[in-house]
Structure 1
Amino acid sequence: MRLAAIAGLLLIVLSGCQTANSGVVRTNEPSKGDVTAFGDAFDGLKTVSDVEYYASDQAVAEAKNQFRAENYGNAGALFYKATQLAPNDGGAWMGLAASSDRIRRFDLSDHAYRQAFRLVGGTPEYYNNVGYSYLLRGKLQDARSNFLKAYELSPNDPTVANNLQLLSSSVKNLER
């Protein structure tokens, strides 16, 4: 008798677990026959994806394109987004630092260079970028020491050689 009472109670509890819908799963995507508030069909319209779902490498690629186009503010925003998506991406931190240098936000670039050094170490690219940052600030001694570190690590790098030449022309311009 006790077993029958437990089975009956279990049957009553489980019957309450049934759903009343037809099993249709709803999404935020419009159905084929849906129309907009203006009476237009949704056919051909694309929904906007959530920015937080972008991969960091996509954000970095977009940021590099903006940097090449000299849109340094946009590049910085995209590199910042990449650092939020992947905080251990040293390339994203380097890009954020370089973009911040170009818009003269040296407080941000200093922070980004510290993070980049922690992740990528003292690479020729790192020392070259830090040297260029100091060059933009007018700190020529600091720029020279970083350019020389980059040159020691990669003596055949044309970018480092060009920056050393740029530094020497900056010194000549100051002497005038």
Structure 2
Amino acid sequence: MNTLRMLAVCSTLLIPLAGCQTSPFGENSAFADDSDTLNDRESVNFHASDRPVAQGLAYFDAGHFGKAQSAFKRATEVTPGDGIAWLGLAASYDRLRRFDAADVAYRQAAKYVGSRPEYYNNVGYSYLLRGNLREARRFFLKAYELDPANPVTANNLTLLRSSIDAVQRG
């Protein structure tokens, strides 16, 4: 009888305790380190151009296109393979109406991000700024094919339609 009573008490205490630990001890222990945390995280990529790209984006969003161009240029010099930096540099040149330099930057960006809708959308916008509506439409449609739900591309297609209507009325 004592054995049965002892077994009942132990099982009553162990059942609630079994639910307390739902993950390995190493994750939540203050004294142990999970073996996975000791491994080198080679898959995490830190680029030297991250800071200038962040600065460039902030300047661009604030409408300071000259400063954005400088920051993105610095980023491309630090990490020539950073497609986002090249895309930002090209967009900055577009806003400064330096289309010759924008074309060079877009060619570089195409090597790294040329198959993304952002690339096609930006190139299309560049042509829209230049007044080349046919080329703008071609690139906007490529961006739209890749990402039909992208609101920026949809907005640019609307801008293009407005530009075409303005040309036809004028």
Within a 5 Å distance, the mapping from 1:41-80 to structure 2 comes to 55-80=48-73
Within the alignment, does 1:165 sit opposite 2:167 as a pair? no
Q: Retained in 1: the 8 A contact 2:49–2:79?
A: yes
Aligned 8 A contact 2:57 2:68 in 1: yes
Pick the aligned partner of 1:100 from 93, 99, 120: 93
Q: Following the alignment from structure 1 to structure 2, what is the Cα–Cα distance between the partners of residues 63 and 116?
A: 16
Of residues 148, 151, 165, the one that matches 1:155 is 148
Q: Which has the higher helix share?
A: 2
Q: Counterpart in 2 of 1:129?
A: 122
**Identical columns (%):** 59
TM-score (normalised: structure 1): 0.68
Which amino acid is 1:160 matched to? Answer: T
Gaps of 5+ in 2: 1-46
TM-score by length of 2: 0.71
Q: 2:105 aligns with which of 84, 93, 112?
A: 112
SS in 2 for 1:150: helix
Deviation at 1:128, TM superposition (A): 0.2
Structure 1 unaligned regions, length at least 5: 1-53
- The residue number in structure 1 matching 2:79 is 86
Task: List structure 1 runs of 4+ shifted beyond 3 angstroms.
Answer: none
Question: Structure 2: how far apart are the matches of 1:58 and 1:153?
Answer: 29
Distance in 2, matches of 1:90 and 1:131, equals 17
1:15-68 deviation per Cα after TM superposition (whole angstroms, max 9, x unaligned): xxxxxxxxxxxxxxxxxxxxxxxxxxxxxxxxxxxxxxx931000001110000
- 2 CA distance for matches of 1:97 and 1:112? 5
Q: What is the number of equivalent residue pairs in this alignment?
A: 123
- Give the structure 2 partner of residue 139 of structure 1: 132
Letter in 1 for 2:119: Y
Shift of residue 96, structure 1, vs aligned partner = 0.1
Q: Deviations over 1:110-165 (max 9, x none)?
A: 00000000112221000000000000000000000000000000001110000000
Tell me the C-alpha RMSD between the 2 structures.
1.1
